[in-house]
Amino acid sequence: MAYNLLKGKRGIIFGALNSDSIAWKVAERAHEEGATFTLTNTSVALRMGDTAKLAEKCNAELIGADATNVEELENLFKKSMEILGGKIDFVLHSIGMSPNVRKGRHYSDLDYNYLSKTLDISAISFHKTLQVARKMDAINEWGSVVALSYVAAQRTFYGYNDMADAKALLESIGRSFGYIYGRERHVRINTISQSPTVTTAGGGVKGFDRLLDFADRMSPLGNATGEDCADYCITLFSDLTRRVTMQNLFNDGGFSSMGMSLRALEQYEKGLHQECECGGALDEEHNYD
């Protein structure tokens, strides 16, 4: 159901790769709510992914930009303002990638060049986006910027690897820039901490299917889907949340406030008398995984 919440608003949506992408679902909802926007991704992703189909569906133009490259971000904001006919009202940063995760490097044996890339792509790109937007004065007063995060920023999750550090930095950038941009231009900046969701990036996390099941059993409302995340983003882009800023907002069915649920406990009990395959003699290097 559409409410015209974004009628007349102009946006930039990063990170729609295929129909599983959270950004894809946000774009569909933003279109339904009356927004006009540009879609952006790396040129490789635009070649390999399905973003062109989404662009056609939403009547949006595609602009290639590597979010770690300041010149490409400047071009993105410039072109978006030209195409959309004015300053931007909302931005979605939906970007994450860790070469350490991709190459199967353990957290206690990180490749530091990869770590720099993880942080640059998944967190510092958020700062670059905000800094470019501010210097170009590209975002309207009371505009809204949202980036997507995960609870591994606060708590340790097996297999999330250096993405946990990237998410902690991402959330901190949201707060630090939120102060400056809020004071100067009333621009609000928030992160949404989303449940595990089946997407290309999500599937890269070690033991993802079990994580998904565990989170679902732990959450009183169950895991939030990509569609739920899109709905939440729309409220944050709308004028209904004008004084929400510098927050990390959990869209996770209650997971982050839980300690243990009966559903998770009962499932755990079923496996209690079976030998665990992790740690000990089976894997001496990673005793504590």
Ligand X SMILES: NC(=O)c1ccc[n+]([C@@H]2O[C@H](COP(=O)([O-])OP(=O)(O)OC[C@H]3O[C@@H](n4cnc5c(N)ncnc54)[C@H](O)[C@@H]3O)[C@@H](O)[C@H]2O)c1
Task: Identify which of residues 7 and 57 has a Cβ nearer to ligand X in the complex.
Answer: 57
Nearer to ligand X, 69 or 140 (CB): 69
Closest separation in Å from C-beta 275 to ligand X: 29
Minimum CB distance to ligand X, residue 16 (Å): 6
d(CA 18, CA 138): 27
Q: Which is nearer to ligand X, 181 or 250 (CB)?
A: 250
The phi, psi pair for 185, rounded to 5°, reads -130, 10
CB of 22 to ligand X, least distance (A): 4
CB of 76 to ligand X, least distance (A): 10
User: What would you report as the CA-atom Rg of the chain, rounded to the nearest whole angstrom?
Assistant: 19
Closer residue to ligand X, CB minimum distance, 46 or 139: 46
* Residue ranges binding ligand X (CB under 6 A): 14-15, 17, 21-23, 41-42, 45, 66-68, 94-97, 121, 148-150, 194, 196-197, 199-202
Shortest distance, position 121 Cβ to ligand X, whole Å: 5
The minimum distance between CB 118 and ligand X, in angstroms, equals 10
Which lies closer to ligand X via its Cβ, residue 143 or residue 196? 196
Q: Residue 255 in contact with residue 212, Cβ under 8 Å?
A: no
Which stretches of the chain are assigned E, i.e. beta strand? 10-14, 36-41, 61-64, 88-93, 139-149, 188-194, 248-251
Task: Give the C-alpha distances (Å, rounded to integers) separating 259 from 37, 135, 219, 254.
Answer: 40, 44, 10, 10
Nearer to ligand X, 68 or 140 (CB): 68
3-class secondary-structure state, position 24: helix
Of 204, 198, 194, the C-alpha closest to 146 is 194
Is the Cβ–Cβ distance between 110 and 100 less than 8 Å?
Answer: yes
Q: How many helices (H) and strands (E) does the chain have?
A: 12, 7
Q: Residues 27, 13: contact at Cβ < 8 Å?
A: yes
- Least separation in angstroms between residue 45's CB and ligand X is 3
Return the ∠ at Cα 13 (arms to 31 and 229), rounded to 5°: 75
Nearer Cβ to ligand X, position 140 or 172?
A: 172
Report DSSP letters for 213-282, one per residue: HHHHHH-TT-PPPHHHHHHHHHHHHSGGGTT--S-EEEESTTGGG-S--HHHHHHHHHTTTSPP-SSGGG
